[in-house]
Structure 1
Amino acid sequence: MSDPDLSDLAVPGATLAVRVTPRAARNAIQREGDTLRVTVTTVPENGKANTAVIRMLAKSLGVPKSRLTLIRGETGRDKVFRIEG
């Protein structure tokens, strides 16, 4: 299963609501209305899961990882990312 094309969401200044499931069976991104569901195989310790989520989102959005900023939810499952200009 390939990651979805989220390039339509890659607007500078836009925010993305993301629900993360760490320690999943596989890495995947699903679009559910205004929310994205991201499953990663990485464990949620020392920011490893967040790094994996940023890497996957950047690839699907077609933007560099440096343009994604985690603005809320660093230690929770519900996160909000901002796409920097």
Structure 2
Amino acid sequence: MARQIVVTVKPNSRKGPLVETGPDGSVTIFVREPATEGRANKAVAEILAKHLGIPKSKLALVGGATARTKRFRIDS
């Protein structure tokens, strides 16, 4: 069964790599990579997989490839 998680990405951040979870359950990921040529997306996927304690192969970007708000599918 797959579930989805929505994250907000902050590329080019000096705080990164960092995952912040808000009181409402929202997830914000700060990465140092720029949002060009998919570099920020790749970094976000790696950081999110590590944060969730799952292999990167179980994570897939399903929405928001060019937006700051992204949806990832987590396969179990």
What TM-score does the superposition give when structure 2 sets the normalisation length?
0.91
Instruction: Specify every segment of 5 or more residues in structure 1 that has no aligned partner in the other structure, as ranges.
Output: 1-11
Instruction: Specify every segment of 5 or more residues in structure 2 that has no aligned partner in the other structure, as ranges.
Output: none
Aligned residues: 74
Over the aligned positions, Cα root-mean-square deviation in angstroms equals 1.0
* Paired letter, 1:67: K
Residue 70 of structure 1 pairs with residue 57 of structure 2: no
Stretches (4+) displaced over 3 A: none
2:27 & 2:3 partners in 1: Cα distance?
14
2:45 & 2:7 partners in 1: Cα distance?
11
The structural deviation recorded for 1:34 is 2.9
| Contact kept in structure 2, 1:16 and 1:82, CA below 8 Å | yes
1:55 & 1:76 partners in 2: Cα distance?
18
Q: Which moved more, 1:33-42 or 1:72-81?
A: 33-42
